[in-house]
Amino acid sequence: PSARIERWALRLQQYQFKLRHRPGKTNPADVLSRKPLSTLEKNSIAEDYVNFLTDHLVPKSMNRQEIEEACQKDAEMQALITAIRKNRWPRKPAGNTNNNKNDNNIDLTPYHSICNELTVSDNGIVLRGNRLVMPKKLRSHT
């Protein structure tokens, strides 16, 4: 299968479901979604301007080196990398939130539920499966 189908299969394998084919005779199509548009309306100047902005104001892409540097400078990412590599996660708090902080007083609570999915690449970048975990500094860029 194609890579796209394999990614979907990996994502969906945790669920139990059955697929059933429903023939077209018993599954009438939505008439309104099938009806073609009679004429296209001309966009207003404001709509043209918005379309121009969305087409031309694409955020600057990041390269691997920028992500690596941001990970090295981010204290939370460094604490997370240490927890992943040593497989020593701070205990979940039972009323007292100080129990969930590591030596640098950084709270790793948001990562507890996915700690088994996290890995660290050779470059020092945290991954969740095949996706990057971005440092806080770069999260607004993504």
- pLDDT at position 83 is 93
Counting every residue written for the chain, the total comes to 142
C-alpha span between 97 and 55 (Å, rounded): 45
Greater pLDDT, 71 or 2: 71
- Write out pLDDT tens, residues 118-141: 999 888 999 998 889 999 988 877
Token duo for residue 21? 């084919």
C-alpha span between 97 and 10 (Å, rounded): 35
User: Can you say whether the dihedral through the CA atoms of 134, 138, 139, 142 is positive or negative?
Assistant: negative
- Write out pLDDT tens, residues 18-57: 888 777 777 666 666 666 666 666 667 777 777 777 777 7
pLDDT over 50 at 113, yes or no: yes
Task: Tell me the pLDDT band of 100, cut-offs 50, 70 and 90.
Answer: very low
pLDDT over 60 at 92, yes or no: no
Token duo for residue 74? 């981010």
CB 133 within 8 A of CB 80: yes
